[in-house]
Structure 1
Amino acid sequence: MARRIFPKLTATSLQATTYLLGIALFSISFLVFLNSSISFVVTDVIGQKEHVGDAVGTLGFADELLALVACPLWGLLSDRIGIRTVAVTGYCIIGVSLICLVRSENVYPELLVGRLGFSVGGAACSTMVTACLPAMVAQRNRKEDSQIGEERGQASGHAARLRGEERPSRTGSVGHAASESVSSELTITQTRWSSRSRTRDGAQLDGEGEYEDSGPETTAGTSQLAGLVGLFTGAGALLALGFFLPLPARFQGQGQAPAQAVQTSFYIVGAIAFGVAIFIAAGLRHLPGEEEKSLAALWRRPYDETTETDEHGHLHTTLTPAPSYLSLVAQAVKLGFTDSNIALGYLGGFVARASSVGISLFIPLFVNAYFVRNGLCTSNPDNLTDIKRNCQRAYTLASALTGIAETAALICAPLFGWLGGKVVQGRQEWPLMAAAAVGVGGYIAFGYLRNPDAFHGDGGQWAFLAVILIGISQIGSIVCSLGILGRGINGPSSQTEAEVSDHKTTTNMRAGETGPVGGGEVAPLLPQTTNEAAPTRDRSHLKGSIAGVYSFAGGAGILLLTKLGGALFDSWTEGAPFFLMAIFNAILFVAVLAIGGGKAFVRRQNARKSGLAEQ
């Protein structure tokens, strides 16, 4: 089914289904459940009735702080032991933590330890959402495909030699030609370069036998899949709100005491986490690019196998020690400063995660402060847990606005995935710029609202439009940043594309200068020596590390908005967090505009050079 929708996926239908229904769907649902019900654990299970808001806030802050460190570490581990192992471990930790949380007898240290354990497991799951996306379109075991390419090259080379005995070579002698035949699979001719023939998995091979980016088709598959990831992630939040959260009330209706009802609910949700882990363990077996990763890599340093072809067509295999953990994370961080796709992915993740806090935390806080300021309710604006009890109208309005924003995001997730796959090759960043522009308008509009009460007129109806724009911006940032990040991992960067274009132009000029005048052969477009072949940047071995840095950037966005936005909310204006989010989106907009404009300039320059070379 998944292969029919996304024919460019190299993952199987079971693997794609497991990714969407297992990792993506539940990556956020358990977090939404815990954040919404942790106060009931404090009040009903532990029995603490005072300073509940302070306890919940401290637990949440500790969760984010630990996740900020855990996400890159899980990403590094996945590069050694595999995505499947990390995801299964993460959901198992979540299951254990949910059970331990409702067995706690005090907030410190027992409930804190349980929440920190949940943070470790949740960091693993959220990081694997990002790391697994490029694996869905990655090529399968390259060693097998290299062997197949070698066998094909040997066979075609043998046929070429047979044909060479019957016709003159370039030197005019009869017999075996001194130079390799252009019919060999190891020689890239202009015809072959133009046709860009594919291997059995839909990949392309360059002059070194390495995989190249398969162009707009692979980019479309990655972007469309990222759209579905956003859709299923939003569906996971709705699953938590519609099924997990009502469980305590349902059990209380069946006669259980409040504490017992909360405990039973956590036990059930924890069991579901274990079930998801089993589902992932079975469904993500033999994931593309993960064949040689195992737990054994934790205590032994693996080796990278590199196969190169010399000028005579012979294959040479070299074993080199794989990079250390510190080297992997250093490479992932460095890519954020040297590759435009990775940089935009990190920046988009920062804005997307911060936007989620803007929706879930500051919209209710803004609404509650409005009702308190106008004497419409008596709850404490600094304690969100008071809203539901003391101001039902404010709670209803905050829930409605948040729900509208999330619904808009859910609807637009596939749209952004489709846009990312349909735009012209080399311009996949423009939908991200559109999302940032929508975010600037939405957050400024909401921050300037005098009345967020959309149900009672007097300008409040503009709140609907503002939260819709905010929701669209949030999902656009998530989907587009994931798609761009996946493209940066699986395909060559924009700098590499320019290098390849310049290389093709230079090689064409060489061919015009040194190529044969006659003889019926076409001069090779690319030299056969490995040092002159078109450069490629394979980062499949870094996808976990890059995903970890991506999650780290998102966590940094959450902490910055939470602390700085909260402080400005109290000291400056209630719209300060939304103005801060508008600034974040404006920075993203300028970054996309600058990078996209730079790419367009490079493309024009390369086209001009190519035109001059052809003349």
Structure 2
Amino acid sequence: MASQRALFTATRTQTLTYLLAVCPFSIAFLVYINSSISFVVTELIGLHDGEGDAVGTLGFADELLALAACPLWGVLSDRIGVRHVCVAGYGIIAIALVVFVQAKNVYPQLLLGRLLFSIGGSAVSTMVTAVLPAITGGSSEQEMPETTNSQTGSNRDDSDSGLNTPSSRLAGFVGMCAGCGALVSLVIFLPLPAQFQKFGLSPSEAIQCSYYIVAAVALLVSVLCLVGLRNLPGEEEKTWNSLWSTQDEDDDPTCAVGGKSRLPYLNQFGAAIVLGFRHSDLLIGYIGGFVARASSVGISLFIPLFVNHYYRALGFCNDSHSEGPGASAGDIKQSCPDAYKLAAILTGVSQLVALIAAPVFGYLSDKSRRRHLPLLFACLAGVVGYTTFPLLPTPKFNGEGGSPRVFAVMGLIGLSQIGAIVCSLAVLSNGILSVRLNQDLPKQAFSAEIEASRPTDETDEAADRQPLLARSGKQKQPQLSHLKGSIAGVYSLFGGAGILLLTKLGGLLFDVLSSGAPFYIMAGFNGTLLLAGVIGGLFSRSKKIYSSEVA
């Protein structure tokens, strides 16, 4: 227990609730509804013509609403606390799953159910990012050790200043737990209809009962969050009453330091955006979220479509179903079983590699916070993997023209995905916990903290000189904890934008240009993140050298 306290500011119960409830089920319910929605459309509603278009439209509407909902939930969590948002999010998911199987038509009933699910899903996915800083360093002030080197007289960079922020290591387990959540959905949730049919229920009744069971699990997770996330560090004073509070930071300058963000909602969101342009870690985290979410689409959607297209082009399939981003895995499974099996094997290999590599990326990220080397490696793997896959003579691993090297390519793609997820979370969380007030940051976000952290008998002139004076002992460094929800909302916003861009642009170019176009787009995304990581590392190094010369 002592070692756990040394690593995290949260308790064991809070940490386990985050890892075993918040993280896995934020993915599990999304995977379940995405994988089962085609059966709802065909078996429950009875739509057999235009199923792919209906499923694609519902998914697009989900992501479009999430673009607006994620930042909103993030901003709200800075007022009411991440615990309450988690509880509300999983509660909404439970209601949405029940409402979903009451629909009698696709429009508007099924669409409204999917939009309700999107509201809850965006809440819990945003909180996966927002809770991480609270677990690893949630207090709004961090005690800093002596920062002056006695031999050289130079200030150390804040990434080496002794901050005990194990966000990187925990982010690795976050990625692993999220992957386990997908397995829970595939192994436990999705087989439920088949099990109910063995008991004599009709297909439609079996689907309804399955959704009721999964909704009950969502409600249970909501209760677990209500109990397990109580009194998170820095969250103790945040309540639902803060939602309607009209008190402004000028009336109580200690409100931000005490953990209650009272900035106007738009100012909270605006500050999170501006921070991304003024702090390299946050910008890299935002771009990493964009690439990470786009990677999930590249693997789960476009790899099966690529394989399906390959088999159809050679005439190996039974009939001709629609091709494009609207085609579901169920279409491939029924019309082209060999393509479905190959696609399942390839995506399974990439996800297995990702699951195994998640803790490794977390550990390596903790050892290289300033240079972001694991993130750069993941991006490089993505550039090579996504560029190579469509250039292979065949996606098959055996038979004529097949080669086991396709597994190596899938491994690179899996490393790219999990590296972007884990490293972007780690970089973002470390950025939240390491930003100092003497940096050039948005005034509206920190004026309250600056006033509250300044001694009452200190003059403005002395305060301006204070960062340059040699210090002994410890000092207080206010963090960005009061804006962690808003920053997490922007992170999710970038992720949603990545999904929409890859889905629409990749799907369009898949049809009109080449079946490899989505993968080349993903290679470009990884290249952009690689460039951002290199520039961010160089900027951090030059900043450290400049600080040393000034001192």
TM-score by length of 2: 0.87
1:534 aligned residue: 467
Cα distance change of structure 1 residues 82 and 389 upon mapping to structure 2, 3 Å threshold: same
1:27 aligned residue: 26
1:164 aligned residue: none
Match of 1:436 among 366, 373, 379: 379
Alpha-carbon contact 2:21-2:225 (below 8 Å) kept = yes
Match of 1:464 among 407, 417, 427: 407
- Give the alignment of 1:467-546 within 5 angstroms: 467-492=410-435, 496=439, 529-534=462-467, 538-546=479-487
Q: Which amino acid aligns with 1:558?
A: I
Greater displacement, 384-393 / 352-361: 384-393
Question: Deviation at 1:6?
Answer: 6.9
Q: Distance in 2 between matches of 1:437 and 1:576?
A: 18
Q: Distance in 1 between matches of 2:5 and 2:361?
A: 16
Q: Distance in 2 between matches of 1:490 and 1:543?
A: 9
Match of 2:370 among 426, 429, 433: 426
- Give the alignment of 1:50-199 within 5 angstroms: 50-140=49-139, 193=147
Give the length in aligned residue pairs.
511
Q: Does 1:578 align with 2:522?
A: no
Q: Which amino acid aligns with 2:241?
A: A
Match of 2:305 among 362, 365, 373: 365
Q: Which amino acid aligns with 2:464?
A: N
Greater displacement, 43-52 / 76-85: 43-52
Alpha-carbon contact 2:237-2:259 (below 8 Å) kept = no
Q: Distance in 2 between matches of 1:5 and 1:456?
A: 51
1:296 aligned residue: 241
Q: Give the secondary structure class of the aligned counterpart of 2:230.
A: coil
Structure 1 alignment gaps of length 5 or more: 150-187, 197-205, 207-211, 309-316, 499-526, 611-615
Cα distance change of structure 1 residues 40 and 320 upon mapping to structure 2, 3 Å threshold: closer
2:396 aligned residue: 453
Match of 2:532 among 583, 588, 591: 591
Q: Does 1:262 align with 2:207?
A: yes
Cα distance change of structure 1 residues 57 and 319 upon mapping to structure 2, 3 Å threshold: closer
Q: Distance in 2 between matches of 1:353 and 1:588?
A: 13
2:500 aligned residue: 559
Alpha-carbon contact 1:303-1:320 (below 8 Å) kept = no
For CA contacts below 8 A with separation 6 or more, give which structure has more relative contact order.
2
Max radius of gyration: which structure?
1
Alpha-carbon contact 2:379-2:529 (below 8 Å) kept = yes
Q: Does 1:252 align with 2:197?
A: yes
1:218 aligned residue: 164
Q: Give the secondary structure class of the aligned counterpart of 1:10.
A: coil
Greater displacement, 363-372 / 389-398: 389-398
Alpha-carbon contact 1:87-1:124 (below 8 Å) kept = yes
Greater displacement, 241-250 / 444-453: 444-453
Match of 2:345 among 388, 400, 406: 400
Q: Give the secondary structure class of the aligned counterpart of 2:47.
A: coil
Cα distance change of structure 1 residues 594 and 320 upon mapping to structure 2, 3 Å threshold: closer
Match of 2:314 among 361, 374, 389: 374
Question: Deviation at 1:600?
Answer: 1.9
TM-score by length of 1: 0.78
Alpha-carbon contact 1:379-1:387 (below 8 Å) kept = no
Q: Distance in 1 between matches of 2:294 and 2:481?
A: 27
1:314 aligned residue: none
Cα distance change of structure 1 residues 448 and 216 upon mapping to structure 2, 3 Å threshold: farther
Cα distance change of structure 1 residues 392 and 465 upon mapping to structure 2, 3 Å threshold: same
Q: Which amino acid aligns with 1:556?
A: A
Alpha-carbon contact 1:18-1:280 (below 8 Å) kept = yes
Question: Deviation at 1:379?
Answer: 3.7
Greater displacement, 537-546 / 95-104: 537-546
1:353 aligned residue: 293
Alpha-carbon contact 1:340-1:493 (below 8 Å) kept = no
Coordinate RMSD, CA, aligned: 2.8
Alpha-carbon contact 1:303-1:321 (below 8 Å) kept = no
Q: Distance in 1 between matches of 2:79 and 2:254?
A: 21
Q: Distance in 2 between matches of 1:307 and 1:556?
A: 36
Question: Deviation at 1:217?
Answer: 5.1
